Structure 1
Amino acid sequence: MNVQLKNSNEALKSDGYGLLLFKDFDRSLVPEPVNQILEELLKKEAFSLNSGKVKVIYSGTTPYIVVGLGDKIEDLDLNDIRLATDKLMKAANEEKVANLSVRIQRSHIERAYAFRAFAEIAQSNTYQFDSFKSKKTQQTLVSVTIVEEEINDALIEVISEGILLGEGVNVAKKLVDEPSNVINPETLAKYAKQFGKEFGFEVDVFKEEKIEKLGMHAYMAVARGSSNEPHFIVMRYVGDKSSKDILGFVGKGLTYDTGGYSIKTATGMETMKTDMGGAAAVIGAMVSIAKAKLPVNVTAVVAACENSISGDSYKPGDILKTMGGKTIYIGNTDAEGRLTLVDAITYIVREEKVSCVVDMATLTGAALAALGTVAAVTVTNDDNFHRSYEEASRLAGENIWRMPTFKEYDEQIKHHEADLTNMGGQPGSITAALVLREFVEGKPWVHVDIAGVAHYKKPQGYYAKGASGYGVKSLYELAKHRI
């Protein structure tokens, strides 16, 4: 998507116009014939400028797409702009507009943030998962011009940043949406290598022999039930060679999860191609970070595998060794994500020498039960690091809610036959995270459980049905604000 800035004195060759307005809108933004129609609609209450409301008004044959930003300017946040942009892009394509000019009413939000959010959603809206459909979705919109009187280099730069964020989100969405007969541990690793070569980050991939040699026995136990060999993916972006500070990302990479011997129901298994949403997020974030050439160092790892059923599968009652040295009793083979993550966390801390760790995972149904499809669960061992992540998620428009770590929960993850159990009981989103905490070796750590927000069964807000790409923008913001 081509998104650009121009002032009103420049020639605008557009076949459609977008107006993002509040209830008390600036009349000078709206051409008089359109303004008369809009005023009449508002007076008759045939249309409102509530957040996300859309009305197409014609001036001759030219469509003016009016999208509401809400009743009060002071209530506006960046997600209102994202929602309005999403509605505008969809309406423009429905109207067969190719070149769209847009005016966004001013508010208390800095223009830079508003324009970046606009560009981000304009770009992510170009994504369509129709690879397997005979009839492809046709989008007519190719160019968007934001009309702005005070243009400077900083505004132009944030437009570019918004586009590369949208591109990173689309990378993650595609990886999650692809079925498991396309995305398996090997093909996920190939995608990571392709992106690294294209955008400028180093990628190493370890196979079984190296994984075993490193002592990742918990990860291998999950992986060995599948005929698809595990691939441990290491991505390194070096943006500041003078610094030893390294931000660490760990993404859960279960490219399919049957539940193992603790097998899922048919309904519960159908969408389990999405169980690598954390891996997709960290790969998408690495793409955006590298494209932006941020002056930071970031290392990301993904323990990619499948949790399948065979004579080699691990079983309830097994006790597994980990790379970190602790043992884990298996109460349920469908609590496999934490087993792959503990070895991945140990690896990134010990071998890659990261300064801090964020792990992102579709880890528990309990996260969905707790917060629904509106926010991700977070758990941390470091207040300051969590505050940094919280600010990153706010700017990204990706909601989170921090869970408590009362010391009583620590007893629940202990087991009388092993150091830990993978089934700590309720509250499941917390006890699962506490197992991971046992392996961070004192590094500042934030766990993000995206089980409720990585994939949507129906459209929600500016998210379409399917993969959301959740997490890419928060990880990018965290890296950017570490500069």
Structure 2
Amino acid sequence: MNTALFDRLSTVQADLVVAFVPSDSELPVSTSWLNERLDGSIEQLRVSNVFAGKLSETLLLPITTQDFAQPILLVGIGKDGALSDAQARKVTGAIAAQIKKLPYKTVAIANSGLTIKNRSTENVLTLISQWINEGFYEFVGFKKEPEVKPEIETILLEGCDESALSFGVATAHGSHYARQLGNLPGNVCTPSYLASQAQQLGDDYNLSVDLLDENRMDELGMQCLLSVGRGSDQPSYLIVMEYKGGEEGDAPHVLLGKGITFDTGGISLKPGSKMDEMKYDMCGAASVFGTMKSICELKPKLNVTAVIAAAENMPSGRATKPGDVVRTMSGQTVEILNTDAEGRLVLCDALTYIERFEPKSVVDVATLTGACVVALGSVNSGMYSNNDTVAADLHEASKVSADKIWQMPLDEEYQQQLDSNFADIANIGGPEAGSVTAACFLSRFTKSYPWAHLDIAGTAWSGGAAKGASGRPVALLTQYLLLKANG
């Protein structure tokens, strides 16, 4: 689907126009202009309470007049003059849901009538273009009779800032990619499949790609990562992709994604209920793939290295057992008290491997702990950092992208929960502060560079009847890297 700009309704050529209607305040300029050409019909509908302008309420006006021949979709924006991020997202979701079902190829959205609190016109344009495009995501899957593809071909948005539009569209493309990878079943999306996706992304965008197989990881001493995939028939991989948009030799910013393509818990087997959702345990990796796609489309002037630690955690006669001790690439030893705390085991070796890049910053992204879901739910991703600048930049990126994070503590006193009688470190720290101690474990492998950890266990997907990957935090990571490029 194509997304482009138009400057004013009086000249736009579209099969459908979308206009915003507040419930009890003055009509926006674009809606007022339409109201005049429809002989006051929009205002009459509002006054008569046929269309009250309630938040995300919609009404299609297929009628035409001599002065205006296009159908109009009215969308309510409620009584507030400016919407919150959540309200604006609800409104754009309602628009996408409606126009997907309509037989129109070109739709013009008069988004000058939509104001979001504390956001500039350019930022609103970016978010609207992102959210509208995200609203058209459909899982390309395995149904015998897939749903009919929407007829829409072009979305026209009101504005003049091409860079703001491009940013929103590229972010949506990255989000689509992350959601597609996340939603694939574990028998399709294996570590080898992720490796093939990296090769494809490299071919599409001229990225440098290196795939470290189990033999190479063994030579490097990455026994902790290898221990996770030992019970699986699927080989593990460390996947490296390099985008080189900056100066040659300039140190990169590194994104690291947890890519557990299916997580049974291993010998510490998970309960059967909702275990199907453990295909989403690679959503950290999926978000890194999606961010790389967005970055490749936007072409910022900086170097970015993406690293994916990919493995499948299965129980078998070869699987790692609780109580086993393994050596990490850093030389530290780990007593594995619970094989279901496997994400930190693949990430710690990857974090040590990343030292060779002498990175400017490292952000790892992982569906790491159920404890983070208990603490923050599905609204905020948990953020931990050993560097105030990285934390501040992620906070700023979070605000601009409307992709929420909440900084969690990383106090030294929590580290003692990881003490082991038999190794340098245990892989779990007991029932208290589970998300914190998981981050504390990772922090022991990040002392040579600025680092942040994003625990997205609560935000990466929705369960139940609405089961599906969210695409978060592609928007946050893309904005973070653009801030670094422009800083």
User: Which one-letter code corresponds to 2:56 in the other structure?
Assistant: G
The number of residues matched between the two structures is 472
Q: Name the counterpart of 1:66.
A: 74
Contact 1:248 1:356 in 2 (8 A): yes
String of CA shifts for 1:63-107, please: whole Å, max 9, x gaps. 422223343234x34454333222112111223222111112164
| Corresponding residue number in structure 1 for 2:43 | 39
1:179–1:186 Cα change, 3 Å:
same
Q: Distance in 2 between matches of 1:372 and 1:35?
A: 49
CA contact (8 A) 1:200 1:291 kept: no
Listed one character per residue, the Cα deviations across residues 110-142 of structure 1 (whole Å, up to 9, x for unaligned) are: 221111112112322332114211222221221
Matched with 2:440 is 434
Does residue 115 of structure 1 match 2:129?
no
- Maintained 8 Å contact 1:200/1:290: no
**Equivalent residue in structure 1 for 2:195, among 189, 194, 214:** 189
Q: 2:306 aligns with which of 289, 292, 300?
A: 300
**d(CA) in 2 for partners of 1:187, 1:286:** 17
What is the CA distance between 1:269 and its match in structure 2? Answer: 1.4
SS at match of 2:186: coil
Return the alpha-carbon distance in structure 2 between the equivalents of residues 14 and 393 of structure 1.
34
Counterparts in 2 of 1:45 and 1:207: CA distance versus 1, 3 Å: same
Q: Which runs of 5+ in 1 are unaligned?
A: none
Cα deviation per residue 1:321-361 (whole Å; 9 max; x = unaligned)? Answer: 10111111111110000000000111112x22212210100
CA deviations over 1:250-291 (Å, ceiling 9, x no partner): 100000111001101111311111100000001111111122
**Equivalence map 1:9-24=2 (5 Å):** 11-23=11-23, 24=25
Return the offset for 1:465.
4.4
Q: Judge conservation of contact 1:240–1:297 (CA < 8 Å) in 2.
A: yes
Q: Decide whether the 8 Å contact of 2:45 with 2:51 is kept in 1.
A: yes
Q: Which residue of 2 aligns with 1:399?
A: 404
Partner residue in 2 for 1:81 = 88
Please tell me the residue identity of whatever aligns with 2:376: L
- Taking a change above 3 Å as real, the CA distance of residues 9 and 21 of structure 1, as seen in their structure-2 partners, is closer
Match of 2:484 in 1: 482
Letter of the 2:360 counterpart: S
Equivalent residue runs for 1:141-290 within 5 Å: 141-148=152-159, 151=160, 155-242=161-248, 244-290=250-296
Q: 1:56 aligns with which of 60, 67, 87?
A: 60
Identity %: 33
Letter in 2 for 1:120: Q
Distance of aligned partners of 1:392 and 1:336 in 2 relative to their CA distance in 1, 3 Å threshold: same
Cα separation, 2, equivalents of 1:343 and 1:243: 24
CA apart distance, 1:48: 4.4
2:140 touches 2:180 (CA, 8 Å); kept in 1? no
Q: C-alpha separation between the residues in 1 aligned to 2:413 and 2:308?
A: 31
Shift of the alpha carbon at 1:384? 1.9
Displacement after TM superposition at 1:192 (Å): 1.1
3-state secondary structure, aligned to 2:415 = helix
Cα distance in 2 for residues equivalent to 1:235 and 1:88: 36
Distance 1:366 1:85 in 2: 32
For 1:437 and 1:368, locate their aligned partners in 2 and report how far apart those are by CA, in whole Å: 20
- Counterpart-to-counterpart distance in 2, 1:130 and 1:237: 27
Contact 1:78 1:397 in 2 (8 A): yes
Correspondence for 1:339: 345
Q: Alpha carbons of 1:417 and 1:47: their partners in 2 closer, same or farther (altered >3 Å)?
A: farther
Q: Say if 1:404 and 1:35 are closer, same or farther in 2 by CA, change over 3 A.
A: farther
Letter of the 1:482 counterpart: K
Contact 2:175-2:471 within 8 A present in 1 as well? yes
Aligned to 2:2: 2
Task: Name the CA shift for 1:311/1:192 in 2 (closer, same or farther; >3 Å).
Answer: same
- In structure 1, give the amino acid aligned to 2:180: K
Separation of aligned partners in 1, 2:405 and 2:60: 35
Whole-Å separation in 1 of the counterparts to 2:45 and 2:299: 48
Aligned counterpart for 2:107 among listed residues 100, 114, 127:
100
Deviation for aligned residue 1:445: 1.2
Which among 339, 356, 363 is matched to residue 358 of structure 1?
363
Which one-letter code corresponds to 1:14 in the other structure? A
- Counterpart in 1 of 2:141? 131
- State the one-letter code of the partner of 1:129: F
Q: 1:35 to 1:186 in 2, by over 3 A?
A: farther
**1:415 pairs with 2:423:** no
Preserved CA contact (<8 Å) 2:9 2:110: no
- Match of 2:100, SS state, is helix
Partner Cα separation in structure 1 for residue 85 and residue 38 of structure 2: 27
Structure 2, unpaired ranges of 5+: none
Query: Which residue in 2 is equivalent to 1:315?
Result: 321
Distance 1:195 1:21, change over 3 A: farther
Tell me, in whole angstroms, the C-alpha distance in 1 between the residues paired with 2:51 and 2:463: 29
Q: Which amino acid aligns with 2:153?
A: V
| Structure 1 vs Structure 2 CA RMSD | 2.1
For residue 467 of structure 1, what is the aligned residue in structure 2?
469
Amino acid at match of 2:440: L
State the alpha-carbon separation in 2 of the partners of residues 352 and 369 from structure 1. 35
Q: Match of 1:141, as an amino acid?
A: I
Shift, 1:211, TM fit: 0.5
Q: CA deviation at 1:37?
A: 4.6
Say if 1:9 and 1:71 are closer, same or farther in 2 by CA, change over 3 A: closer
In the superposition, the TM-score normalised over structure 2's length comes to 0.91
Whether the 8 Å contact between 1:255 and 1:275 is mirrored in structure 2 is: yes
Give the equivalent residue in structure 1 for 2:151.
140
